[in-house]
Structure 1
Amino acid sequence: MQKNKIGEIFVRSGLISADALKRALVEHRKNPNEKLSRTLVRMNLTSYSEVAEVLSRQSNIPFIDLNMVVIDPRAVQKIPAELAMKHHILPIYAEKNNLVLAVEDPYDFEAVEAARFASGLNIRPHVASYPDISNAIQRYHALDVVMKARAVQKPDEDMDFILKHTLGNDVQLAQLKEQSKSAVVQNTLNTIIFQAIAIRADAIVFEPLKTHLQVRNRANGALSNGTKIPKKLQKAMLAHIKIMAGLDYAKHMIPQKGRTQYHMQQRTLELEVSCLPAQYGESVIIQILDFGEQVPLIKDLGFQAEDMMKALKLLSLPNGMILVCGPPGSGQTATVYALAHEVLRHQRRIVTIEASIGYQLKGAQQVQINAASGLNFSRALESVLRQHTEVIVLGDIRDKKTAETALRASLNGHLILGVVRSRTLTDAISDLIALGVSPQLVSSALSGIITQRMVRKLCPHCREQYHPLPSLLKKIEETVHERPSGEFLRGKGCQACNFSGFHERFAVYYIALMSQTMARIIQQDVTKSGISRIESSLLSKAILARVTDGETSLEELERVIFHDGRPRRLLNPEDDEQVEQFQQSPQAEAPQHSAPVKASAPLPDEPVLAQTQGSLPVIVRYKAEECKILIVEPNLKLKTQISNALIARSFQVLSATNGVEALETIVRELPDLVICESVLPKLDGLNMVYRLRKSTNTGGIPVIIISSKAETADRIRGFAAGSDDYLPKPFSMHELFLRINAILRRTRRS
C-alpha cells in the first residue's frame, strides 16, 4: 500500500493530525525505504504500540502481543530467517494447514504471499508491534543469523579471548584448537556472551538437553532462557569453551574448572568456567567477573546508621574474626571487599585468599587458590600468616583446618574477614562447630557476624499500586510485630524488565556484635536460642522500610525472608510442622476416601457437560471456605454452572471471560486453583498458563485445563504449557470435583 494511503489511515483514526502527516512525509523522503510508521515513531509523533492497534482496528486483523503468547519454535522454522528479517514477520504457531503469522504491516500483501509460498500453509496474519517482532526475530533466529550471515567472517576483534594455562599435551591441544577454529562456533559464542553482558547477567549456563543445548542467563538472581544451540553443534561449542578456559577437552567424565579473560572494547572480563558431566553431555557454567568494576565502598553498601556504626567498630579492632554470611548470591563478596577497602584507608597490610578473585583491590596482595597444584585455603593461610600480615580476607571457610587456623590467628593479633556460605547467623556458627571446631574457640575468637540478603527492586517503568492479600499482611505482622500500612506497589512487568517486574537489587543487613551473652549462647547451643527470630525480624523490618518507600514489594519480602524452596506460597511454621508430621505418619501413604454427599441443588442442563453419575464428593483435608478458585470460561452458561456448584460447596469463586482479564485477576487475587478453557479471546488458555509459570509469584498456582480438544497432541500441548491437569469436554461435575479435590489436597492444608 502506498505511503499516503497508510498516512490517511493514521489521520482518519485520529492517531496523527494532517499537519503531522505532511511533516512526516517530508522526513520520509530522506529515507524512502523506511516504513512510514517507523518515521512517525522516530519523530515522536506516536508509539509502535499505538500504530499496531490502529492498523489492527482499521484492517480488522487481530492484534497479538508477542510478550503474552507462547511462540512455537517449530513454527518459526517454517519461514527462513532471511525472509523473516526482510519482511519483518514471524510465525507464532501452526495449526493443521494454517500458520498464524505476526506482521508489522497488515497491508503488506507481498510479505503474506512470501510467507505462504515459503511455508506451503494458509496464512492467518496477526498485527504485532515493530519492536516486539524485532525482539522475537532476534531471540528465535539469533543462531541462524550467526551461522549463516557470519560464518564467513573472522571472529570479532573487540571480542577476543586470551588463552591461558596452556595444556601440556601438544598433540591434543592441536586437535582441540582445530575443532574450535570454526567461525560459526566462535561468533555464536561471542554473540551469547555479548547478549549476556548487555542484560547485566553474572552467569551463562549451557544445559545439554536431549534435543539441543539450552543457553540460560542469570541476571538479578533469576534465570532466563536464551539461545537454543542445535545438538550437532554441542560438542564443538563446549570444546571451544573448554579450550579457551585451559581445560582438557578429552576428559568428559570428570568435573573441571578453569578461567580465561575476555576483552570487549575497554573492559576486561574474567570468565570462570566449570564443567560437570550430565545425562546428555557436559553442563557448563560461565561466571562473569568484571575486573573493570570498581570495588564497592562501605558507604555504598546501604548500611543503616546503626549498622554503619557497628561495622566501623568491628573494623577498628586490632584483631578478631568478622564473618559475612548469607545465601548463595547474596553479595557477601561485595561486602567483604568494601570492608577490606575501608581497612586499607588505615594503612594496614591486607592479603586476600579466594577461590576466584572477585575484584582488583589496589594496595592488597591477592592470592587465588589452585587445588591442582596443592594450594588450598589452609596452606595459603598458613603461608600468609608467616608474612606478618595484619588483615586477611578469606573467601571461604570449608574445612576444620582452615577454620581453626583462622580463629586462632584472630586471637594472635590478626583481623580476619571471612565469608561463610551459611544462610543465617545461627547456621554460620553451627556450621563452624559442625566442622569440628570447639564452641569455646568460636566464642573466644569471633568479634561479629554480618548477615545479609539481596532484595529485588521494583522496575521503575511498570510499578503499580495494589492491595496485598490479608493473609500476607498478617504473616508479616507476626514477624515484625507491626502491621504493614500505606500504599503498596508491585511490578506489573514490561519490556524494560523482561516482564519480571524487577530491575536490579539492593542489600539489607543484620549485624551482631559478640558479647558475653552471645558467647554463652554459642557455648551452650546456639540453635536453641531466639537469635534466629530476632535476625529474621530485623531483616524483615529493613525490607519493610524499603516496601514503604516503594522500592520493593511485600511478596519480595516474603520470598527473601520466608522462602524455603517450596514452589507454593509458604505455609505458617505450625502448618509446616503439621505437614512433616503428616508425611511421617502411616496415614500419609494410605488412600484417601471421600464420603459422597448430595448436591445442594440440581445443576442446569448444559450440552458441554456429560451426565453426572452419583453425587459430588466431599473435599477433604482442607477448608473449602478458605480456597479461592478462578473460573476462566467464555461460555457464560457453563461458567455459571461450575460457579454455582463451587459456591454450593463453600468455595470462594472468581471468574473471567478472557485470558488477559484472567491474568490480571490471578496477579491481583492469587487464587488457590485456576480452572481454564484452552480457547479464550485475547489470550488463549495455554499461553496464559505459560505466562503464569514464568512469574515467581504465580508459578506455583495449580491450573486445570478444560477443553473441547481431546486429542493426545492437545493434551500434550496443555501439559507442556504448564497445566497440572487436562479435562476434555464433555465432562461430569463428579469428575471435575475429584480432580479439584486431588489438587487442593496436595497444595492446601486445613
Structure 2
Amino acid sequence: MSGEAKRAATQEGCRSLPLGERLVAAGHISRSQLEVALREQRRTGELLGKVLVDLGFVTEEVVEAVLAERVGCRRIRLEFVEIDPEAVARVPEAIARRHHLIPLRLVGERLEVALADTFDVFAVDQVERATGLQVEVVGASQQEIDQAIDRHYRRQGSTLEGVAEEVLAHLEDDQEAVERGQDTPLIRLVDRLLRDAVEQRATDIHIEPEERVLRVRLRLDGMLRQTAVLPARLARPVAARIKILADLDIAETRTPQDGRINLEFGDRRVDLRVSTLPTIHGENVVIRILDQSGIVLSLEELGLSPDHLALLERLLRRPNGILLVTGPTGSGKTTTLYTALAALNSMERSIFTLEDPVEYRLPIVRQTQVNPEAGMTFAAGLRALLRQDPDVILVGEMRDEETAELAVRAALTGHLVFSSLHTNNAAGALPRMIDMGIAPYLVASSVNAVVAQRLVRRICNRCTTPATYTEEELARLGLPEAAGLPFFRGEGCDACDHTGYRGRAAIFEILEVDDAIREQVHRRASSAEIHQAAVAAGMAPCRQDGIQKAMVGVTTLEEVVRVT
C-alpha cells in the first residue's frame, strides 16, 4: 500500500471513530482529558462536544471541524438557511430539543435535518419513526440549532433561554428594580421558570450554578431531567430573586437558608419549599413543589389492590394503636398519611398533626409546625398535644426515642397514631423501634400495622402497548418466575415527552401485626425473619404488588425492579 493510500485509510478509520476518539487521534485532547469529559457527560447528559468545550479542553471550532470530517456529511450555517415550517411541523418539539436537531426541508419522501451530533443514530431513528420519512443529516452548531428550535417551535422569548437573553441585556438595571419589586425581565424569567415546572408536574426544581452555565433540572416522575441551560452570569440574580420571594436574606450567600413561597397559578394553589446551599460556583437552589391540587385524599385513588384496600380500611376502623408508613424520601408517605387522615376526618373526631413542615392544609384538622429553634420539637409538641383531647394524631416522623415513647404511650391510652419511618421494608420498622429504645413488648402491643411503599413511573396511557420479555431478559431482571405473563410498555409519544411514562403510581406491602408477628418482636427477631413470617402468613411484598400492577399495564417490569 502506498503512503497516500495508508494516509487515506487512516483518515477513513479515524472518521468512523466516535468524536472523543477522533479528537484524541488528531492530538486535540489527551486520553485523560477524554476520560474526564466522558464522566462529566454521563453526569450531565450533555453532548460530548459541548462538554469538551465547557471544560475548556477544545474550542467549538475544533469540535465542528472534526465533526465535519464525517463521511458524506456536510456542515452548514443555519443563519444562511431558510427553514421550511412544514418540515418543522413533522417533528415533535420534544425530539428536537432532546437531540438538538432542527428539520430543514422536505424533499419528496425525504426529510433534511440539521444535527449537532451527526453520529447520533438514535436521533435519526426517532425522527424516522415519528415522521415515516427517510432522514438526511447535515451538521450544524448546537447553539445555532437550539436558537432555531426556539424561533421555529415557539415565539422567540417564550422559552427560558429566550427570556434569559433579554435579562442579560438589562442585567445591571434589573438588580435594583428586582429589589423594589418592579416588573423586569429577570422577574419574568423566574416566574416562567416556576410556572413551567408546575405545568410539567415537576416535584422539584434544581437551579445549579456551574463555572460556565446555570443549569436548570426538573424532577419529573421521580427522575431528574435537564430543561434549560442559562448563562452563568444569571446565577446570582436568579438566586436573589428566588430568595426575595421566599423572604430570605439576599445578602447572606455563605450559609444555607430555607424558606417558603406561596403561589397561585389560575385556580391552583402551590407551596414551594426553597433551600439554598453555597457551592464553589454560587448558591445552589432546590425548590420542592407542593401542589395543593395534587394531593390524593381518597383511599380508592391511592392505587391499592383490592386486598390491600380492604385491609387498610379495616385497620383505620381500629380505635387505637400505631399505623406506620415507611419508605425512602419521595416515596409518597405523606400522601398516604394525609389520605388516611382524610378518611377519618369528621366533626365527631378530634384530629391533630405535628409536621416538619406542614405540607398540605386539611379542613377541621389542627396542624402544628415543628420548630426546634423555639423548643417545639416533635416530642415537646406531642406532649402538649396529648393534653388537647385528641382522637387521632399524626406525627410526621419518629426521629428519636422520646418521640417514639410518647407515640407508644398515646397508642396504649386510646389514641390512633399515624407516623412514618425510613426503613427498606415494612418488617424493618419493628426492629427499628426497638433499636430506638422502645421495649419489644411495647412495640408488639402498640403497633397495629406497617405500610411500606415505593413510587414507580406510570406507563403513558396514550402510547401503551403489549411488551414481551425473553427468558434471558427476565433472568437479567431477576424475575424468571414472570415468564409467560402479559406485560406492557410505553412506546413514547408527545404526551409523555417520548419517555413512555407519564405520572407515577405506588406499590405497597402491608404488614399487619398479628400474634405470629408479635411473637417475632418479643424475641427480637431480625427484619428478615419478621418479613419471612409475614410472607408465610399471606403478606404480598412490594415486588409482588408491582408485578401484579405491571401485568395490568400500570407500570413496567423495569420500574418494579428499579425501586424494589
Asked if these proteins are the same fold (TM beyond 0.5), I'd say yes
1:531 equivalent to 2:493? Answer no
Q: 1:316 to 1:231 in 2, by over 3 A?
A: same
Q: 1:59 to 1:520 in 2, by over 3 A?
A: closer
Partner of 1:212: 213
Q: 1:458 to 1:92 in 2, by over 3 A?
A: farther
User: What amino acid is the match of 2:256?
Assistant: P
Q: Deviations over 1:213-249 (max 9, x none)?
A: 2111112111111222322222222122122212223
* CA distance in 2: counterparts of 1:236 and 1:103, whole angstroms: 23
User: What amino acid is the match of 1:147?
Assistant: V
Note if contact 2:164-2:189 (Cα within 8 Å) is conserved in structure 1. no
Give the drift of 1:259.
1.1
User: What amino acid is the match of 1:553?
Assistant: T
Partner of 1:223: 224
Partner of 2:450: 449
1:310 equivalent to 2:330? Answer no
Give the drift of 1:485.
2.1
Partner of 1:543: 546
User: What amino acid is the match of 1:270?
Assistant: D
* CA distance in 2: counterparts of 1:517 and 1:226, whole angstroms: 51
Q: Which runs of 5+ in 2 are unaligned?
A: 1-82, 93-101, 121-137
Partner of 1:554: 557
Q: 1:516 to 1:421 in 2, by over 3 A?
A: same
Note if contact 1:247-1:256 (Cα within 8 Å) is conserved in structure 2. yes
* CA distance in 2: counterparts of 1:136 and 1:92, whole angstroms: 23
Q: How does 1:182-261 map to 2 (within 5 A)?
A: 183-261=184-262
* CA distance in 2: counterparts of 1:516 and 1:533, whole angstroms: 11
Partner of 2:521: 522
Q: How does 1:302-451 map to 2 (within 5 A)?
A: 302-345=303-346, 347-451=348-452
Q: Deviations over 1:308-356 (max 9, x none)?
A: 2221221111111000111221111111111111111472110111112
User: What amino acid is the match of 2:392?
Assistant: V
Note if contact 1:179-1:239 (Cα within 8 Å) is conserved in structure 2. no
Q: Deviations over 1:497-552 (max 9, x none)?
A: 22322111111221111112212222322334050696696322222222222232
Residue range with higher mean Cα deviation, 311-320 or 539-548 = 539-548
Partner of 1:497: 496
Note if contact 1:397-1:420 (Cα within 8 Å) is conserved in structure 2. yes
The one of 132, 141, 154 aligned to 1:94: 141
Note if contact 1:204-1:286 (Cα within 8 Å) is conserved in structure 2. yes
Partner of 2:511: 512
The one of 147, 150, 164 aligned to 1:144: 164
The one of 62, 87, 91 aligned to 2:112: 62
Q: Deviations over 1:73-98 (max 9, x none)?
A: xxxxxxxxxxxxxxxxxx97439xxx
User: What amino acid is the match of 2:240?
Assistant: A
Q: 1:54 to 1:526 in 2, by over 3 A?
A: same
Give the drift of 1:103.
11
SS at match of 1:241: helix
User: What amino acid is the match of 2:320?
Assistant: N
Residue range with higher mean Cα deviation, 227-236 or 447-456 = 227-236
Identity of aligned residues (%): 27
* CA distance in 1: counterparts of 2:276 and 2:210, whole angstroms: 15
Give the drift of 1:413.
1.2
Partner of 1:269: 270
* CA distance in 1: counterparts of 2:506 and 2:167, whole angstroms: 41
Q: 1:473 to 1:148 in 2, by over 3 A?
A: same
Q: 1:205 to 1:526 in 2, by over 3 A?
A: same
TM-score, length of structure 2 as denominator length: 0.70
Note if contact 1:66-1:132 (Cα within 8 Å) is conserved in structure 2. no
Give the drift of 1:460.
2.8
Give the drift of 1:195.
0.7
Partner of 2:474: 473
* CA distance in 1: counterparts of 2:109 and 2:364, whole angstroms: 67
* CA distance in 1: counterparts of 2:144 and 2:323, whole angstroms: 60
Q: 1:209 to 1:101 in 2, by over 3 A?
A: closer
Q: Deviations over 1:137-159 (max 9, x none)?
A: 965733435527998999xxxxx
Q: How does 1:99-114 map to 2 (within 5 A)?
A: none
Note if contact 1:297-1:342 (Cα within 8 Å) is conserved in structure 2. yes
Note if contact 2:87-2:103 (Cα within 8 Å) is conserved in structure 1. no
Q: 1:383 to 1:554 in 2, by over 3 A?
A: same
* CA distance in 2: counterparts of 1:530 and 1:217, whole angstroms: 38
Note if contact 2:517-2:533 (Cα within 8 Å) is conserved in structure 1. no
SS at match of 2:559: helix
Give the drift of 1:438.
2.8
User: What amino acid is the match of 1:559?
Assistant: R
Note if contact 2:347-2:364 (Cα within 8 Å) is conserved in structure 1. no
User: What amino acid is the match of 1:549?
Assistant: V
SS at match of 1:386: coil
Q: Deviations over 1:564-616 (max 9, x none)?
A: xxxxxxxxxxxxxxxxxxxxxxxxxxxxxxxxxxxxxxxxxxxxxxxxxxxxx
Aligned CA RMSD, in angstroms, stands at: 3.8
**Length, aligned pairs only:** 452
SS at match of 2:239: helix
Q: 1:350 to 1:224 in 2, by over 3 A?
A: same
User: What amino acid is the match of 2:515?
Assistant: Q
Note if contact 1:474-1:483 (Cα within 8 Å) is conserved in structure 2. no
Give the drift of 1:134.
4.2
* CA distance in 2: counterparts of 1:272 and 1:333, whole angstroms: 15
* CA distance in 2: counterparts of 1:496 and 1:135, whole angstroms: 21
Note if contact 1:142-1:227 (Cα within 8 Å) is conserved in structure 2. no
* CA distance in 2: counterparts of 1:349 and 1:415, whole angstroms: 11
* CA distance in 2: counterparts of 1:514 and 1:135, whole angstroms: 60
* CA distance in 2: counterparts of 1:307 and 1:342, whole angstroms: 15
Which has the greater radius of gyration? 1
Q: 1:456 to 1:61 in 2, by over 3 A?
A: closer
Q: 1:53 to 1:384 in 2, by over 3 A?
A: closer
Partner of 2:135: none
Q: Deviations over 1:258-291 (max 9, x none)?
A: 1121122232211111122323222221111123
* CA distance in 2: counterparts of 1:248 and 1:237, whole angstroms: 14
* CA distance in 2: counterparts of 1:92 and 1:138, whole angstroms: 26
Q: 1:191 to 1:146 in 2, by over 3 A?
A: farther
SS at match of 1:246: coil
Note if contact 1:295-1:341 (Cα within 8 Å) is conserved in structure 2. no
Q: How does 1:22-33 map to 2 (within 5 A)?
A: none
User: What amino acid is the match of 1:217?
Assistant: L
Give the drift of 1:188.
1.1
Give the drift of 1:292.
4.0
* CA distance in 1: counterparts of 2:532 and 2:193, whole angstroms: 42
SS at match of 2:384: helix
Note if contact 1:259-1:273 (Cα within 8 Å) is conserved in structure 2. yes
SS at match of 1:299: helix
* CA distance in 2: counterparts of 1:456 and 1:64, whole angstroms: 32
Q: 1:212 to 1:318 in 2, by over 3 A?
A: same
